[in-house]
Structure 1
Amino acid sequence: MKKAPAWNQYQIKLLMTFLMVLDHLDHVPGLIPENLAMVFHVLSRGVAVWFAYCVVEGVRYTHDLRRYLLRLYLAAGGMLLGNLALRVLLQSEDITVSNNIFLTLALGATMLAALQ
């Protein structure tokens, strides 16, 4: 029997990122039906958990913890700027983007680093 190919962490991260995007499509009013939004929401329940696991692995196995934390905080800043740009460009009361998974992950990684 032929063995199924194993997925590496990077490939799983890409899949999880795609699922996270699907989960957030309902933030744009009228883009997708509510039933489909619920399906995407259920499919993406494990995404944040997977990213948290990746951060724990990153903190544990990184060669330079300060640079790792810096990259996470820079990604959080970039996402904040992107959220602000969307808010300005779209100028809609119905569309607000305030989620920042990178900030959550950076704070968690900082706490893990403090415990080491």
Structure 2
Amino acid sequence: MMSTTPAATGFFIHDAFEPEKYEPFILGQVQWVRRPGDGDRPALSAGFWHVTTEEAPEPFDLLIEADETLHIIEGHLRIEIEGGESFDLTAGSVASFNKGTRTRWTVLKDTTEFFVYS
């Protein structure tokens, strides 16, 4: 995988998604494209998140701690907004949440998503 760092170039380039590069995350695993704080931008990060039904066999509550936009690459999630609607996200779905949104996530099928925190 080709990658560059902002110290050398001011931008990041990753030309491949490599599941073998995953590392443990709060739940599931993550492959960072841009780690929190890279390029002196503490509020901006991005990566691929993968979670299995075995890792999350039950619904879990999640307070969105930063503005988050995600794109489902494969799999199936159900995200319920506290006091509001429920959304089923499958391959190709895109969602965006404001910081402070209270949600409940259900992993219905092993899922990989691309996310950006800002």
TM-score scaled by length of structure 2: 0.27
More strand by share: 2
More helix by share: 1
Larger radius of gyration: 1
TM-score scaled by length of structure 1: 0.27
